[in-house]
Amino acid sequence: MSIIKVSARSRTASVAGAIAGVVRESGRAEVQAIGAGAVNQAVKAIAIATGYLAEEDVFVVCVPAFTEVLIDDQERTAIKILVEPR
Record the pTM.
Answer: 0.93
Structurally, at CATH architecture level, domain 3-85 sits in 2-Layer Sandwich (3.30)
Spell out the per-residue pLDDT of the chain, length 86, in tens.
Answer: 689 999 999 999 999 999 999 999 999 999 999 999 999 999 999 999 999 999 999 999 999 999 999 999 999 999 999 999 99
Return the bridge partners of 33, or none: 6, 79
Task: Tell me the DSSP string of the chain.
Answer: --EEEE-TT--HHHHHHHHHHHHHHHS-EEEEE-SHHHHHHHHHHHHHHHHHHHTTT--EEEEEEEEEEEETTEEEEEEEEEEEE-
